[in-house]
Amino acid sequence: MKNIFRTLIAIILLISTINVTAQADTIAIKNDSLTSVNINQYKEKLVVLEQQRIADSIKKIGLQKQLESLQTTDNFKKEELQKQLSDLNNREAQRLAEKKAKINSLRATAKGYPVTGFFNDTLFTLYSKLGSFSAHDRAKAISERIHVLGENYSFIADSIKIVDAETTTDIIIGESIIMSVCENDAIWNNTSQHELAKSYSIIIGSAVVHYKDETSFITLAKEIGLAILVLLVLIVIIRYSGKLFKWTEQKVKEQEGKRIKGITIKNYNLFDAQRQIRILLMLNTLIKWLVILILIYIALPILFGIFPWTQHFAEALFSYILTPVKKIAFGFWSYLPNLITIIVIIFAFRYVLKFARFLKNEIEDGSLTLNGFYKDWANPTFQIIRVLIIAFMIVVIFPYLPGSDSQIFKGVSVFLGFLFTFGSMGSLSNVIAGLVLTYMRLFKINDRVKIGDVVGDVIEKSLLVTRIRTIKNEIISIPNSTVMSSHTINYSSDTVEKGLIMHTTVTLGYDVPWKKVHEALLTAANRTEMLLKEPTPFVLQTSLDDFYVSYQINAYTKEANKQASIYSKLHENIQDCCNEVGIEILSPHYRAARDGSMTTIPENYLDKDYKAPPFNININKQE
């Protein structure tokens, strides 16, 4: 059954995981598809706009030639050509505006390709194609050309020139073109074509000069020397850290039996001195290695940061710590309003619980009285209300918990609820029975009760079980569901007010006068300690059988928990009182023939001259 249950849980979790993963994959595919459609539409639109630009440029050149060839007196024709040129210029402005709008709509989704420098650093990013070259191909080709510049020992930053071509602005050095800046590049960077080319030329020149400075012999010598110095400092710090921890280890050992005497909680010795020393030494060693690892982790980024080729490793190592710290800090800052809300809710419910506890204490002390509500209901009612208030508080807080809207969080919550429901089915009936018993007021702590065949004093009432101590000092735990299904006798419930009637039965023959028996039994009851004189004891003749009469002595007591000792004393006194008045307590079928037989009354109750009666023989002579 357990294996089936575990398999079922595993299948449910697997299906939930598949559903969540499938949903995430579907969303990602939809987003990628949408981006691809937008980029394709953008490319198609650019092709149309480029064709329009080329056609307008050709037409514009033709109109300008016609204007130049016209005579100064041909004003009508000149105005017509100028109007056509104005229309072309307006169309050009409209085309640029439309292209800018289209590019602005793609800024968040379009992918850029970086032009990298000599140390894998990004100089700038390209987004648009040029001719038959895609943005990726352009970035790769420009990066290779920049790397070639780094091998030119005679490179000077001022040797980079900017030349305007027909449709592009070229960045050249000597006779070689480093890159061409087109209109689309300028729009992507929100600047003019010439200004962008000038900015790119400065970036490229600075990158080449920086590379040459970093790879010079003097710079490399300085960097190597600095790296050696960092290593020496690290070794010295680690060495003295080791000495420091050896000193602390020695100090800890010296304190054994002095300041370090072990840890004792009440009467339980949690740690003796030696064990505490071992734990402290282990913590000392753990801290030592932790400090060494931290020192090495700090030193590695410093070493990597010295050389330009490994600077990205330094950034990566620092990012391993800084990135999680930043995420935690920003996450905490963004979560702060929800945290404050949770704190306010907790404080509010805390005072609601305090008020409920105050009412409970007032009812238990008798300061507050509610009609039909008993004192012993106060604590269990408070516990029920407390659970309900806490459950309601959790429901209110739940939406403000981090990740409460995630599918995993919801799945875990459902799974825990599933486990709780099926795991508590066996105990649920006992819990409900415990609540019912509390409000039925069948018994309370220290009451003498009889549940089924078990007789004893109630020592514990919980939601699950009721524990009873028998007169033999045995502890018996009875599930509350069993208590509910059994009959319960409470000997103590009315003992204080009305008293408990204790009774026992004596059977005597018909030859003993009943008044004499009543007197003996009442005397025995009055002699018994813990039996009350008022109300007065009384005798009931409960049956007239074939050989005997059943006499039942009844007496009141306030000590319901001491029935065993009271009954024992009462039986002793009944024997003494019956013997004192000459009443024999015989077996019901015993024949009370005294011909030659001794009485059953003990000798100390008989007269000193008592003798067994002689045999009675009657002889009838027949004449």
For the ranges 305-314, 328-337, 552-561, 589-598, the lowest mean pLDDT is seen at 589-598
The answer to whether residues 416 and 362 belong to one domain is yes
Residue 10: predicted pLDDT = 39
What CATH number is given to the structural domain containing 450? 2.30.30.60
Question: How many Cβ atoms are within 10 Å of 368's Cβ, its own excluded?
Answer: 15
SS3 assignment, position 438? helix
Q: Is the pLDDT of residue 473 over 60?
A: yes
Bond into 614 cis (ω within 30): no
Q: Does residue 495 belong to any structural domain of this protein?
A: no
Residue 387: predicted pLDDT = 83
Round to whole Å and give the CA distance between 423 and 100: 64
Amino acid at 464: L
The alpha-carbon radius of gyration of the chain (Å, integer) is 53
Read off the pLDDT of each residue in 347-356 and give the average, rounded to a whole number. 92
The answer to whether residues 319 and 418 belong to one domain is yes
Q: Is the pLDDT of residue 517 over 90?
A: yes
Angle at 525 between CA 566 and CA 499, to 5 degrees: 65
User: What percent of the chain stands above pLDDT 70?
Assistant: 74
Q: Does residue 140 belong to any structural domain of this protein?
A: yes
Residue 415: predicted pLDDT = 63
Residue 48: predicted pLDDT = 62
Question: How long is the chain?
Answer: 623
Q: Is the pLDDT of residue 20 over 80?
A: no
For the ranges 93-107, 281-295, 376-390, the lowest mean pLDDT is seen at 93-107
Q: Which pLDDT tens digit goes with each residue over 362-373?
A: 888 888 888 877
Q: Is the pLDDT of residue 29 over 60?
A: no
Q: Which pLDDT tens digit goes with each residue over 124-139?
A: 999 888 877 888 889 8
Q: Is the pLDDT of residue 72 over 60?
A: no
Identify the domain containing residue 372 by its residue range: 312-423
Q: Which of 170, 160, 154, 165 is nearest to 204 (CA)?
A: 160
Round to whole Å and give the CA distance between 623 and 619: 12
For the ranges 192-201, 436-445, 495-504, the lowest mean pLDDT is seen at 436-445
Q: How confident is the model at residue 16 (pLDDT cuts 50, 70, 90)?
A: very low
* Contact between residue 208 and residue 150 where contact means Cβ atoms under 8 Å apart: yes
Residue 28: predicted pLDDT = 40
Q: Is the pLDDT of residue 587 over 90?
A: no
Read off the pLDDT of each residue in 10-28 and give the average, rounded to a whole number. 40
Q: Is the pLDDT of residue 59 over 70?
A: no
Question: How many Cβ atoms are within 10 Å of 303's Cβ, its own excluded?
Answer: 18
Q: Does residue 549 belong to any structural domain of this protein?
A: yes
Looking at per-residue confidence, does 121 or 179 come out higher?
A: 179
The answer to whether residues 188 and 122 belong to one domain is yes
For the ranges 302-316, 340-354, 361-375, the lowest mean pLDDT is seen at 302-316
For the ranges 12-16, 510-514, 566-570, 612-616, the lowest mean pLDDT is seen at 12-16
Q: Is the pLDDT of residue 512 over 70?
A: yes
The domain boundary, picked from 306, 330, 362, lies at 306
Tokens of 611: 């003798």
Round to whole Å and give the CA distance between 116 and 122: 5
The answer to whether residues 100 and 117 belong to one domain is no
Read off the pLDDT of each residue in 115-124 and give the average, rounded to a whole number. 83
Cβ neighbours for 27, distance < 8 A, ≥ 6 positions apart: none
The DSSP result for 117-132, as a single string, is -TTS-EEEEE-S-BTT
Residue 348: predicted pLDDT = 93
Q: Which of 36-45, 105-114, 422-431 tops mean pLDDT?
A: 105-114
Q: Does residue 461 belong to any structural domain of this protein?
A: yes
The answer to whether residues 196 and 233 belong to one domain is no
The answer to whether residues 265 and 293 belong to one domain is yes
Residue 335: predicted pLDDT = 83
Residue 523: predicted pLDDT = 94
Q: 322 forms bridges with which residues in the sheet? A: none
The domain boundary, picked from 72, 105, 138, lies at 105
Residue with tokens 């290593």: 231
Read off the pLDDT of each residue in 94-113 and give the average, rounded to a whole number. 77
Round to whole Å and give the CA distance between 199 and 152: 22
The answer to whether residues 327 and 384 belong to one domain is yes
Residue 1: predicted pLDDT = 40
The answer to whether residues 281 and 362 belong to one domain is no
Q: 549 forms bridges with which residues in the sheet? A: 508, 544
Q: Which pLDDT tens digit goes with each residue over 238-292?
A: 999 889 989 988 888 887 777 777 777 767 666 777 788 888 889 999 999 999 9
Round to whole Å and give the CA distance between 303 and 221: 14
Residue 51: predicted pLDDT = 61
The answer to whether residues 101 and 145 belong to one domain is no
- Mean residue pLDDT of the chain comes to 78
Residue 526: predicted pLDDT = 93
Residue 7: predicted pLDDT = 38
Read off the pLDDT of each residue in 89-102 and give the average, rounded to a whole number. 73
Looking at per-residue confidence, does 56 or 172 come out higher?
A: 172
Run of H or E residues at 488 = strand 488-490
Read off the pLDDT of each residue in 204-225 and give the average, rounded to a whole number. 80
Looking at per-residue confidence, does 436 or 184 come out higher?
A: 184
The answer to whether residues 99 and 136 belong to one domain is no
Angle at 313 between CA 307 and CA 316, to 5 degrees: 140
* Contact between residue 479 and residue 525 where contact means Cβ atoms under 8 Å apart: no
According to DSSP, residue 589 is labeled T
Looking at per-residue confidence, does 301 or 457 come out higher?
A: 457
Q: Does residue 369 belong to any structural domain of this protein?
A: yes
Looking at per-residue confidence, does 615 or 19 come out higher?
A: 615
What CATH number is given to the structural domain containing 542? 3.30.70.100
For the ranges 54-63, 146-155, 532-541, the lowest mean pLDDT is seen at 54-63
Read off the pLDDT of each residue in 479-484 and give the average, rounded to a whole number. 80
Q: How confident is the model at residue 77 (pLDDT cuts 50, 70, 90)?
A: low
Residue 14: predicted pLDDT = 38
Residue 542: predicted pLDDT = 94
Read off the pLDDT of each residue in 525-536 and give the average, rounded to a whole number. 92
Q: How confident is the model at residue 110 (pLDDT cuts 50, 70, 90)?
A: confident
* Contact between residue 493 and residue 443 where contact means Cβ atoms under 8 Å apart: yes
The answer to whether residues 224 and 149 belong to one domain is no
Read off the pLDDT of each residue in 91-101 and give the average, rounded to a whole number. 74
Q: Does residue 613 belong to any structural domain of this protein?
A: no
- pTM of the complete model: 0.43
Round to whole Å and give the CA distance between 174 and 159: 7
Read off the pLDDT of each residue in 437-454 and give the average, rounded to a whole number. 81
Tokens of 180: 């061409």
Run of H or E residues at 490 = strand 488-490
Cβ neighbours for 244, distance < 8 A, ≥ 6 positions apart: none
The domain boundary, picked from 432, 460, 490, lies at 490
SS3 assignment, position 593? coil
Round to whole Å and give the CA distance between 53 and 259: 90
* Contact between residue 165 and residue 130 where contact means Cβ atoms under 8 Å apart: no
- Specify the number of domains making up the chain: 6
Round to whole Å and give the CA distance between 532 and 525: 9
User: What percent of the chain stands above pLDDT 90?
Assistant: 16
Q: Does residue 620 belong to any structural domain of this protein?
A: no
The answer to whether residues 521 and 595 belong to one domain is yes
